[in-house]
Structure 1
Amino acid sequence: MDLAPVPRLEPAEVLAQLREHLGADLQLLGPLPGGQVGAALVAWPDGRRGVLKAGGASPEAWQQVERTAGLLALARGRGIPAPEYALVARLPDRIAVVQELLPGAPPAQVEVPLVEEMTGLTERAAGLLSACPDVPAVPLYLLRSGPGFCLHQPLAQYDGRTRMLLDLVRRIGTEHPTTLAGDDLVHTDFHPGNVLVDRTGAITGVVDWDGVGRGDRRFDLVTLRFDMALPGTDQRERSARRAAAQWLDARLDDVLEPALLRAYWAHMSLRLVDWSIRHHGPDDVDRWLTVAATRLG
């Protein structure tokens, strides 16, 4: 099993391939901040701007990208501000996507009103895939490793604490279905870093839909809750995040039965501890182990 970090985007290389194979003349404007793997800001010859991303070239990855473009159209029809895919290209060693650049910027502060609005957006995803039985359910990976994330082996190798967490995750996995149930549209990486807002703080965009699938929209609230555990840069931000976390904890207790919340919490704990082991360091591993324990014991 490959436990190396996921490679980051090399935008100049991807743009050169797009020119060579498709004649697409896109100008690189620079990297976009945030994200774990990377995205770049590009411009079309007519001045329109877009966001360049790239990923693996397997048949499954191509199918997922094509499916995602259609799902984002469904989301926009329900009032979810998702980007349109302007270009999808199958290159020799990767798949490149240039998507619409939505207005706004990532929120400077995470406060209760933002979390309330994000929660409201998840409600718009309710039952959105009821007429799309071909869209796969989102896996939880509690019993097996995921494709490049939610890997089990790093937890088994890191230390005694992560091995205990892995044992607990697998035990929860034997008591719960291995995929999300439901016909909702699920983002799967729903946090403030993937949201854009205007000057008033209103949401203008939701981005980074690479893992979109079928399931339970409430799963996205658990993803959002984990983000509330990130440290703030100052006392005001830390206080705002604590208030948002408290609001969201009450919401989760209200809308999710304990066993289901525990399974979703196990998935996010596995996902973030694994990612921190391979991409960050001991401080991040400690943080996510602490968050995991708040709901898993």
Structure 2
Amino acid sequence: MDDTTARLVDALLTTARDRGLELRRESAVLDETGWDFRVLHGVDTGGARWILRVPRRPDVAAAVDVEARLLALVRDRLPVAVPHWRIADRELVAYPRLAGEPAASEDVVTFRLHWRIDRQNPPQSYVEALGRCMAALHATPVEEAAATGIPVRRLDGVRARFGEQLVLGRAELGMHDTWWGRGRRWLDDDALWSPRSVLVHGDLHPGHTLVDDTGNLVGVLDWSDAEVGDPGTEFVEAARKFEPSMLDDLLAAYAAHGGQTWPGLARHVREGIAFAPLTLGVLGLTSDQERYVEAARARLGVLTHG
């Protein structure tokens, strides 16, 4: 641990101690990979494992109260665990570490995913539980979700945002004309877009899902992107890192557990998966993540047959 990291760790431990949480210094491990939060893993004097999150920016700090209310809303509605924040203010969030490990973790150097489940053939129990979890989340009354303070996006606003991304992709990411045409056809086809807004996690990729040793889904992390919006986006992040057949299984599990579908849902999600590089590329432009920008240019600059 270099001197800069050591000072950061000591400062975080002091902040926690000031709030009544004593962690053992030798147990502390700092994780700097998050965009929104600096994270510290540690063990308290009684042997319990904790997660500490420190907001990196004022806008993230200002949203802590909102996320705390959201977690309280969904905790008893879902069939899996979510973080139970014991300390939550603009300087520090702390909660007991949930059981399980991420289904996939990104290498901080190579950016490659290391999988704890089979990416090509994920356990049916994982897919089934994920569909059930999404169905339960999306059934949350929209009025209650909106009362937490999370963003509420009208359906026309969701489509308008994608239209803006298309324009930016053409202007800044070298989007091929065939991608532009494909995006416009998707945007203009009313049958493909959801007839309702729901509460969505917003970033339900495998790294935010926790699994046990047998691949069972046991928890969901990182709710900072939650909003009331397009349910189709939930399937994009949940499925795009897997083989295409996983989406069919996930949609079936979602419907079996009461999730409300519409005839164009599968096509909508497949278009969302295809255009994921555009979404990431736009994010890269606005957050100085050059690797996302370059990846988007490489993918969108060539012919698409969709």
Fold agreement, TM-score > 0.5: yes
The verdict on how the C-alpha distance between 1:226 and 1:289 changes in structure 2, with shifts beyond 3 A counting, is: farther
What TM-score, normalized by structure 1, do the two folds share?
Answer: 0.66
Q: For 1:207-286, what aligned pairs fall within 5 Å after superposition?
A: 207-228=221-242, 241-245=243-247, 247-248=249-250, 255-258=261-264, 261=268, 264=272, 268-275=276-283, 278-280=289-291, 284-285=295-296
Separation of aligned partners in 2, 1:70 and 1:265: 30
Provide the identity percentage: 21
Separation of aligned partners in 2, 1:256 and 1:21: 47
Q: Deviations over 1:123-160 (max 9, x none)?
A: 1113313342434325743255xxxxx79757633434
Match of 1:272, as an amino acid?
A: L
Given that 2:211 and 2:218 are in contact with CA atoms closer than 8 Å, whether structure 1 keeps it comes out as yes
Separation of aligned partners in 1, 2:182 and 2:234: 22
Given that 2:41 and 2:49 are in contact with CA atoms closer than 8 Å, whether structure 1 keeps it comes out as yes
User: Who is 2:70 aligned against?
Assistant: 71
Q: For 1:173-212, what aligned pairs fall within 5 Å after superposition?
A: 182=196, 184-212=198-226
Separation of aligned partners in 1, 2:166 and 2:46: 43
Given that 2:53 and 2:94 are in contact with CA atoms closer than 8 Å, whether structure 1 keeps it comes out as yes
User: Who is 2:11 aligned against?
Assistant: 16
SS at match of 1:85: coil
Given that 2:71 and 2:83 are in contact with CA atoms closer than 8 Å, whether structure 1 keeps it comes out as yes
Match of 2:278, as an amino acid?
A: L
The verdict on how the C-alpha distance between 1:15 and 1:164 changes in structure 2, with shifts beyond 3 A counting, is: farther
SS at match of 1:204: strand
Instruction: Answer yes or no: is 1:120 the counterpart of 2:132.
Output: yes
Q: Which runs of 5+ in 1 are unaligned?
A: 1-9, 145-149, 229-240
Instruction: Answer yes or no: is 1:44 the counterpart of 2:44.
Output: yes
The verdict on how the C-alpha distance between 1:104 and 1:197 changes in structure 2, with shifts beyond 3 A counting, is: same
Given that 2:194 and 2:231 are in contact with CA atoms closer than 8 Å, whether structure 1 keeps it comes out as no
Q: For 1:165-176, what aligned pairs fall within 5 Å after superposition?
A: 165=179
SS at match of 1:211: coil
Separation of aligned partners in 2, 1:242 and 1:264: 13
Separation of aligned partners in 2, 1:213 and 1:174: 23
Separation of aligned partners in 2, 1:40 and 1:155: 40
Separation of aligned partners in 2, 1:152 and 1:40: 39
Given that 1:119 and 1:221 are in contact with CA atoms closer than 8 Å, whether structure 2 keeps it comes out as no
User: Who is 2:85 aligned against?
Assistant: 85
The verdict on how the C-alpha distance between 1:65 and 1:20 changes in structure 2, with shifts beyond 3 A counting, is: closer
The verdict on how the C-alpha distance between 1:217 and 1:30 changes in structure 2, with shifts beyond 3 A counting, is: same
Given that 1:142 and 1:172 are in contact with CA atoms closer than 8 Å, whether structure 2 keeps it comes out as no
Larger Cα Rg: Structure 1 or Structure 2?
2
Match of 1:102, as an amino acid?
A: L
Offset of 1:244 from its aligned partner?
2.2
Q: Which runs of 5+ in 2 are unaligned?
A: 104-115
User: Superposition RMSD on alpha carbons, in Å?
Assistant: 4.5
Q: Deviations over 1:20-79 (max 9, x none)?
A: 597245446224598666633123344332223333443x53443211112112222113
Separation of aligned partners in 2, 1:30 and 1:152: 42
The verdict on how the C-alpha distance between 1:250 and 1:89 changes in structure 2, with shifts beyond 3 A counting, is: closer
| Paired residues, number | 261
Separation of aligned partners in 1, 2:136 and 2:217: 14
SS at match of 1:54: strand
The verdict on how the C-alpha distance between 1:246 and 1:128 changes in structure 2, with shifts beyond 3 A counting, is: closer
Separation of aligned partners in 1, 2:216 and 2:162: 35
The verdict on how the C-alpha distance between 1:286 and 1:172 changes in structure 2, with shifts beyond 3 A counting, is: same
The verdict on how the C-alpha distance between 1:88 and 1:130 changes in structure 2, with shifts beyond 3 A counting, is: same
With 66-75 and 127-136 compared, the bigger mean Cα shift is at: 127-136
SS at match of 2:152: coil
SS at match of 2:95: strand
